Amino acid sequence: MIRWLAWIAGGLVMGGIVHLAAILILPRTATRDAYARLSALAPVNGFAVLPIPTPDVSSVPFMDPAFATAVCRYDLASGPIKLTVPVSQAYTSVTFYTRYDVAYYAINDRAAGRRSIELDLMTTKQREDLPDDEEVTAADRLIVESPSATGLIVARAFSPEPSLLAAATATLAAAQCRPA
């Protein structure tokens, strides 16, 4: 009897290990995550405007229908990316996601100021390799470090009422992300 209980207890411990391993490994094995879903729509190092969500079509679940959305799938392997997102009338934000859909940085038009959100995206290694001249460290050049070499940049422009959605979409059509 004791022997069987020992086997079951061993099974429970192994079950716990299986559970933890599954939770930690799952993000790396999922094939229908946001990055995979958007890979078909977004080019590498270029923005694509996503269709406005409808009951039949939604690029990712739980999209906010009051926003126009554009996605850039970046790849820093060949160097840093320069990002320019024009600011729309109401509210514009840019969110950075790693390859595994972790939102590591987000900025909105108020924090960025001016007429467009402009910044440089690079890996930690690429930032270390930057020459230490003053122009580079100038305050007007915002640098964001990406924890992964690939990922997603998602620009969102708010439309306070449905009639302004076309204007918000047009603003995002001018967004750029390309090698610096």
Partner 1 sequence: MRLLIGLLLSFMVAAAIGLGSTWYALTQNLAFGPLALGAWTAYPRNGTVGVDPYAHAAIVRNGELPVGVGDGIAFTATTDDAGHLLDGRCDLRLRGTTPPARYFTVTLYSPAGRLVANSLDRYGFTSQELIRDPNGEFEIIASPRARSGNWLPTGGIDSYVLMMRFYDTSLGIATRAGREAPMPLLQLENCR
Select from 49, 72, 74, 93 the one that contacts partner 1 (CB under 8 A). 93
Which residues inside 52-71 make contact with partner 1, applying CB under 8 A?
53-56, 58, 60-62, 64-66
142 in Cβ contact with 119 (< 8 Å) = yes
17 near partner 1 (CB under 8 A): yes
Contacts of 1 (CB under 8 A, 6+ apart): none
Our measurement of the distance from residue 71's CA atom to the centroid of its chain's CA atoms, rounded to an integer in Å, reads: 8
167 near partner 1 (CB under 8 A): no
| 62 vs 115 by CB, closer to partner 1 | 62
Beta-bridged to residue 179, according to DSSP, are 81
Residue 160 neighbours by CB distance under 10 Å: 12
| 81 vs 168 by CB, closer to partner 1 | 168
Which residues inside 114-133 make contact with partner 1, applying CB under 8 A?
none
Please give the size of the binding site for partner 1, defined by CB under 8 A: 62
Q: How far is the CB of 96 from partner 1 (least distance, A)?
A: 7
What the block records as the tokens of 77 is 């392997």
Beta-bridged to residue 154, according to DSSP, are 71, 95
1 near partner 1 (CB under 8 A): no
What the block records as the tokens of 55 is 């009951």
Name the phi and psi angles at 76, rounded to 5: -90, 10
Tell me which residue has tokens 């850039």. 72
Note the residues at the interface with partner 1 (CB under 8 A): 3-4, 7-8, 10-19, 21-24, 26-27, 30, 32-34, 36-37, 53-56, 58, 60-62, 64-66, 90-91, 93, 95-97, 100-108, 110-111, 147, 152, 154, 156, 158-161
